[in-house]
Amino acid sequence: MSTSFLLRNGKRVFSVIGGVCRGTDALSGVHFIARRFIIDLSYSTHFMDFKGSSIPSSMKKLVVTKLSQNFRDAVALQTVPVPTPGDGDLLVRNRFVGINASDINYSAGRYDPTVKPPFDAGFEGIGEVVGLGLSASARYTVGDTVAYFADGAFAEYTVIPMIKTVPVPAVKPEFLTLLLSGATAYIAMKRLGDLVKGETVLVTAAAGGTGQFAVQFAKQAGCHVVGTCSSNEKAGFLKTIGCDRPINYTSEDLSATLRKEYPQGLDVVYESIGGRIFDMAVNNLANKGRLIVIGFISGYQTASGVPTVKGGTLPVKLLQKSASVRGFFLPHFLADYKEAMGSMMQMFAKGKLVCEVDCGDMAPEGRFVGLESVFRAVDYMYAGKNVGKVVVEVTPPSLDSKL
């Protein structure tokens, strides 16, 4: 059975047969075939009311309106028109978005000091393609599920350049954990860790978004893994993902424990806290130890963003142990990104990688549902409550969604 639609400007006639869309472009005479409807740029002014579309005319998004390390002061919830995808873009209906420690570095303008507010917040999302430009239609179609690592994710709908997206088999929040948190651990350990079987690896913030992956990759490399965390619940979780020695630093003296149980020192440290913990990690490095600076979250909520360390003594300490401190920033390692994602997706599919998601089900005001709850989710992370990656459920599943 076939149905025909004449679009408003009359340029193109579609006929739909059994879910397959065929037609002839009236201007070029070119025959085309597509699996499902493509929202073509030539109709971009019309696509909101395209037959069968469930795209509303307006949506909510979070915008940085003032630079501040206080996320609630910096960011405002706005209602705006749903944006239109350009030629190489996808319009994604965000089902889940990821919360990152650096969301407040971004809102404080620390990523690019030349960028002035207003600008869109949020780094990563996963959802369904609901519109796309003509070039993007060569690779994607409406209904495809994608994840992406790009600015502006804290919105109900986001326009994303196709090249920044990764096709995913379903809209599972677990895939979202891999985009930034997983990729950081995978690439940093591989490129800068130089892990050798039998070595001792310390992971700080080990039960968090990226820490959980650092623990698992170090374990897979045959290392003895020590992980810091702030509760017994987190220590229990760390055990389940292979951490040999979780240290709950709220009930144990971290420095004394490291000195007593690891007198030979730490071969590798995956360090996310900074300040006092960074100093402690340097002091406990083994000969030829490698400390990877992943972040320094303990300073992010301060005006400078940078916690103080005992920098003056660092050259001496490194020289005496032939040790090194190595910085890692994911955008500098994008050449490794595709391989990292492919490998982690395979591990997850085979049940060899735990991707722990924390949607706030145990948070005081309950699960993080709706864009408004991004504020609560950021607070929750900064209170150190999360076990795994903090994720917000932005929109409910669509009717024919794969989740």
Stretch that binds ligand NAP, among 96-104, 134-142, 214-222, 361-369 (CB under 6 A): 96-104
Q: Is 337 in the site for ligand NAP (CB under 6 A)?
A: no
For ligand NAP, the closer of residues 52 and 113 by Cβ is 113
Looking at the Cβ atoms of 16 and 306, the one nearer to ligand NAP is 306
CB 107 within 8 A of CB 173: no
- Does 295 contact ligand NAP by CB under 6 A? yes
Near ligand NAP by CB under 6 A, which window of 85-93, 141-149, 201-209, 315-323?
201-209
- Please tell me whether residue 189 binds ligand NAP under the rule CB under 6 A: no
In order, the DSSP letters of 217-252 are: HHHHTT-EEEEEESSHHHHHHHHHTT-SEEEETTTS
CB of 245 to ligand NAP, least distance (A): 15
State residue 346 phi and psi, 5-degree precision.
-65, -45
Q: How far is the CB of 212 from ligand NAP (least distance, A)?
A: 8
Spell out the residues 6+ positions from residue 239 whose beta carbon is closer than 8 angstroms to its own: 246
Question: How far apart (Å, rounded) are the C-alpha atoms in residues 247 and 66?
Answer: 38
Q: Is 318 helix (H, G, I), strand (E, B) or coil?
A: helix
Residues 210-239 within binding reach of ligand NAP (CB under 6 A): 210-211, 229-230, 234
Show contacts with ligand NAP in window 101-120 (CB under 6 A): 101-102
Pick from 117, 141, 382, 398: which binds ligand NAP (CB under 6 A)?
A: 382
Question: Counting beta carbons within 10 angstroms of the beta carbon of residue 378, is it exposed (0 to 12), middle (13 to 18) or buried (19 or more)?
Answer: buried
Residues ≥6 apart with Cβ < 8 Å to 56: 82
Range 239-278, binding ligand NAP (CB under 6 A):
272-273
- Residue from 207, 238, 280, 345 binding ligand NAP (CB under 6 A): 207
Q: Which of residues 148-187 bind ligand NAP (CB under 6 A)?
A: 180-181, 184
How many positions of this chain bind ligand NAP (CB under 6 A)?
A: 29
Q: Which long-range contacts (C-beta less than 8 Å, at least 24 apart) are formed by 276-283?
A: 276/307, 277/204, 277/228, 278/307, 278/309, 279/309, 279/310, 280/254, 280/255, 281/202, 281/204, 282/310, 282/314, 282/317, 282/318, 282/323, 282/325, 283/255, 283/317
Query: Could you tell me which of 128, 165, 164 has the C-alpha nearest to residue 145?
Result: 128
- Interaction between residue 209 and ligand NAP (CB under 6 A): yes
Residue among 107, 165, 177, 298 that touches ligand NAP (CB under 6 A) = 298
Q: How far is the CB of 356 from ligand NAP (least distance, A)?
A: 10
What does the binding site for ligand NAP look like in residue numbers (CB under 6 A)? 100-102, 180-181, 184, 205, 207-211, 229-230, 234, 272-273, 294-295, 297-298, 328-330, 381-382, 384, 386, 390
